[in-house]
A and B are shown apart, each in its own frame.
Chain A
């Protein structure tokens, strides 16, 4: 797979480390009443969809940026790539 890095252009997926569902960018509120339950779900449960999936890729062998990649899990087609820092903003 080639990931079209927003700054570096197309890079081999081998340079990246896969870090899972991009919803991990939204941490639950640690001060909330049900924080324990929310963090358990956050850490362990996944939607795991068949089809479009927004996911984190870390460019470990490159510029160390985190990307949010939208990829189809049925075809491996990459539909969109953004810097995680911009998504989280």
Chain B
């Protein structure tokens, strides 16, 4: 069933009785060609692109809980492609282009809003680094604009420009960046994949892998054994926990990232702003709440909640950047578990077990990557070769000394 204006009018006259569920609730078949573990944004996108672009049909997505209940519903909804390194930027720019066409491709309103992402700089060195990053973005076909103080002032006159320690000297603006309604991304991909025959099986937890002679043959699940020629895992946050069932150790630690939303306010912040001196970023949702976040808590955890020191740190960042925020009240805070990789960059790769493929290590950048991650993982699952923009996202890059370390921090996850 296509969604359209005509359809809305028709349903309005029919008391909205004809919409029906957006996807089926199938019982699992005994065997699939490809099983995706994880019904979050990345898993659903993978299934959708496998069906729509690679012509695969016999696919299932297994989800432990319900669709949209994991990190795809817990992030701060920001999309951008302002990366620098050749192993990253083409990938994120592909993702940005896919976001731009997403709603037509899925026939679903994901509220893609290219309202601009502005990274502020507070020192000459930081401005130089932003100029370099902006140039790297332009070379890869993304858009980037370096603003001076006056340029920033025109967009956001209420920022704390004259701070003695961290004056705002300018910013790197990506106008094509912005926000996307995160739940709608999960629902849109799920509905579109379901229409192409993908079985989406919720409340189905993977308990173990059946591996024979180094080849995966299926999954033990809470709903019985499900056979598969190929298995792709897209469970970022729980990658360590899941892959340990296959005896695989990963270059990943699981950390918690907190996010916050204020009470609803009148429109005040048109785009996305990031503070360059602390770690703080902010946007305003269409409902009016300010959505913001900061650093990870910095220790291994699988609990989807963080501790007070980070709450305090984020609020200090908010007050340092935009003192007027002190008048707003924080409404809610929550946490999501991140796969923090050793160099801050993700993996889309095969494993040493035949037929078992891995997608994870997204750190706190997974949401913006959703479409490209799905497409590249689908490419890998369908063709057994890496997509051209994901050739460096390999698990063995540490052994080869080929890290993708955007910030040059070294092998410690809580520094990224």
A49 contacts across to B, CB distance below 8 A: 240-241, 244
Say how far B335's CB is from chain A's closest CB, in angstroms. 11
Choose among B250, B302, B414 the residue with the greatest number of A CB atoms under 10 Å from its CB.
B302
Docked CA distance A14–B313 (Å): 11
> Is A18 a contact of B307 with CB atoms below 8 Å?
no
B240 surroundings in chain A (CB, below 8 A)? 46-50
Is B399 touching A53 in the complex (CB atoms < 8 A)?
A: no
Cα(A54)–Cα(B398), bound, Å? 24
Given A14-B309, A20-B412, A73-B254, A45 contacting B249 (CB threshold 8 A): yes
Q: Mark A1-43, 1 if CB is under 8 A from B, else 0.
A: 1000000000011100011110000000000000001001101
Residues of A within 8 A of B94 (CB): none
| Among listed B132-140, B196-204, B293-301, interface-contacting one | B293-301
- CB of B244 to closest CB in A, whole Å: 7
A46/B252 in contact, CB under 8 A: yes
Within 8 A of A (CB), among B122-154: none
Q: B302 contacts A73, CB within 8 Å?
A: yes
- Inter-subunit contact A48/B303 (CB<8 Å): no
Q: Does B411 lie at the interface of the complex (its beta carbon under 8 Å from any beta carbon of A)?
A: yes
B301 cross-chain contacts in A, Cβ below 8 A: 73-74, 76
Nearest chain B CB to A32 CB, angstrom units? 17
Chain A residues contacting B278 (CB-CB under 8 Å) are none
A19 → chain B, closest Cβ, in Å?
8
Are A18 and B414 touching (Cβ within 8 A)? yes
Tier of interface size on chain A: 20 to 34
A40 to B249: give the CA distance in the assembly, Å.
12
B251 interface hit (Cβ, 8 Å):
yes
Cβ-defined contact, A74 with B411, below 8 A: no
The CA-CA distance from A14 to B70 in the complex, in Å, is 28
Chain B interface bracket (under 10, 10 to 19, 20 to 34, 35 or more): 20 to 34
How many whole Å from B251's CB to the nearest CB in chain A? 4
Shortest A48–chain B CB gap in Å is 3
B98 to chain A, nearest CB (A): 30
Min CB distance A47 to B, Å, is 6
Residues of B within 8 A of A18 (CB): 298-300, 414
Query: Of residues B253, B411, B412, B414, which shows the largest number of chain A Cβ atoms within 10 Å of its Cβ?
Result: B253
Complex CA distance for A44 and B398, rounded to whole angstroms: 7
A59-B303 Cα distance, complex, nearest whole Å: 24
Contact of B309 among A13, A45, A75 (CB under 8 A): A13
Q: Which of A43, A48, A53 has the most CB of B within 10 A?
A: A48
Task: Output the least CB separation between B220 and chain A (Å).
Answer: 18
Which residue of B298, B307, B399 contacts A40 across the interface (Cβ within 8 Å)?
Answer: B399
When distances are taken between beta carbons in the complex, the residues of chain B under 8 Å from A48 are 240-241, 244, 249-250, 252-254, 300
Q: State the majority secondary structure of interface residues on A.
A: mixed
The answer for the CA separation of A47 and B249 in the assembled complex, in Å, is: 6
Residues in B neighbouring A75, C-beta threshold 8 A: 303
Residue of A nearest to B403 (CB): A44
Tell me whether A40 and B398 are in contact (CB under 8 A).
yes
CA distance in complex: A55, B413 (Å): 14
Q: Which residue of B lies closest to A51 (CB)?
A: B302
Q: At the interface, yes or no: B342 with Cβ under 8 Å from chain A?
A: yes
Point out the residues of chain B lying under 8 angstroms from A21, CB to CB.
253, 300
Nearest A residue (CB) for B309: A14
Pair A43/B411 contact, Cβ less than 8 Å = yes
Most chain A beta-carbon contacts within 10 A, residue among B250, B299, B398: B299
Within 8 A of B (CB), among A37-89: 37, 40-41, 43-50, 53, 55, 71, 73-76
**When each residue 247-279 of chain B gets 1 if its CB lies under 8 Å from chain A and 0 otherwise, what string results?**
001111110000000000000000000000000
Residues of the B chain whose Cβ atoms lie less than 8 Å from the Cβ of A50: 238, 240-241, 254, 302
Also in contact, A44 and B303, with CB within 8 A (given A14-B309, A50-B241): no
> Within the complex, what minimum Cβ distance (angstroms) separates B74 from chain A?
17
Determine how close the nearest CB of chain A comes to the CB of B347; give it in whole angstroms: 12
Residues of B within 8 A of A76 (CB): 301, 303, 307
Those 10 A-B pairs whose CB atoms lie nearest each other, nearest first = A48-B240, A44-B398, A18-B299, A45-B249, A44-B251, A50-B302, A14-B309, A50-B241, A40-B399, A73-B301
New A-B contacts (17) at CB < 8 Å, excluding given A1-B307, A48-B240, A55-B300: A13-B309, A18-B300, A20-B412, A40-B399, A41-B249, A43-B342, A44-B398, A46-B249, A46-B251, A46-B252, A47-B249, A48-B249, A48-B300, A49-B241, A50-B254, A55-B299, A73-B302
- Chain B interface residues toward A at CB < 8 A: 238, 240-241, 244, 249-254, 298-303, 307, 309, 342, 398-399, 411-414
Residue pairs across A and B with Cβ atoms less than 8 A apart, 8 shown, are A1-B307, A20-B412, A46-B253, A48-B240, A48-B241, A50-B302, A53-B300, A73-B303
